[in-house]
Amino acid sequence: MSGEVHVSIVGLPSSGKTTLLAALWHMVREPGASTVLSFDGLSNGNYEHLNQLAKRWRSGRIQQRTQVSGARDVVMRLKDAAGRQIEVSFPDLPGEEFSRMWERRELDNGMVGTLTAPAIVLLVNGDTIRMPAWIVEQVTLSTKLGLPPADVVPVEWSADLAPTQVRVVDLLQMLMSGDLYVGERRLALLISAWDKAEGEQMTPADFLESKLPLLYQYLRSGRDLWTWHVWGISAQGGVYEDPEKHESFAETDRLRELERPSDRIKIVDGDTVCSDITKPLKWLIG
């Protein structure tokens, strides 16, 4: 038995997929970096493209939004100390593909292979969670502000107004039904941009329970057979600059000054913090 586990990385637009890929690619190739999984080869994908992502990551610039035309299959092989292999597939798809799955209930055939992996990494950006908007709260708020109730204008329902957790739960349910159903699976839930969330002094599990209660309850109820665990992940360590907006931040300078770029990375599991970005992948091997 080869012991190879196929892992796929999924997430809505701007959830941090490309940034994770860039940081992972940098770290498994950084001389002297210590990781539980080490680089074993590229089954698919091109070094040039990955090197560009990693270079951009090192320079403290945010990744460009993945475009449909730029969809590239990246399949990386990693191995643990015992020689067991894990094959990580980053379709590095634009998150729009996942949104579309949810909005139109359509599944691109090309995605079936990725979405039937027995182990899934799901990214949720902890900095841009769209909360449910409660009409009652809006009415209370406008009353307190002394605004006439007429100012609460009904808005036509549209998919992009849906709360983050509603989309994510639905995506997970789709992975557990129909053509995508493959039985029990492992799920590493990564709350990205953790540097923005950590000020709240919560563990990733507390954060999940309080900011994404529907997702938390869905996973905890065991309705679908996920064996899951949650991490907070900061793949950048802080804010990066958008070259198109000519941004320049002291925080990014501090990150660039760190001796090893991999010291920017933070992986938070309960109260434990480390910079080994391969840890959640190792957990997925079981």
Ligand X SMILES: Nc1nc2c(ncn2[C@@H]2O[C@H](COP(=O)(O)OP(=O)(O)OP(=O)(O)O)[C@@H](O)[C@H]2O)c(=O)[nH]1
Site for ligand X contains 62 (CB under 6 A): yes
Site for Mg ion contains 18 (CB under 5 A): yes
The single residue among 91, 94, 204, 280 that binds ligand X, judged by CB under 6 A, is 94
Return the range that interacts with ligand X (CB under 6 A); candidates 10-18, 27-35, 71-79, 209-217: 10-18
From the CB of 240, what's the least distance to Mg ion, in Å? 14
Q: At residue 201, what is the residue type?
A: Q
- What the block records as the tokens of 257 is 């000054």
Pick 13 or 163: Cβ nearer ligand X: 13
From the CB of 81, what's the least distance to ligand X, in Å? 27
The single residue among 35, 63, 114, 262 that binds ligand X, judged by CB under 6 A, is 63
Q: At residue 161, what is the residue type?
A: L
* Binding residues among 33-92 for Mg ion as defined by CB under 5 A: 66
Cα–Cα dist 47/25, whole Å: 10
From the CB of 17, what's the least distance to Mg ion, in Å? 5
Site for Mg ion contains 192 (CB under 5 A): no
Site for ligand X contains 240 (CB under 6 A): yes
Return the range that interacts with ligand X (CB under 6 A); candidates 51-59, 178-186, 193-201, 202-210: 193-201
Cα–Cα dist 270/272, whole Å: 6
State the virtual CA torsion across 84, 260, 93, 129 in degrees, nearest 10: 110
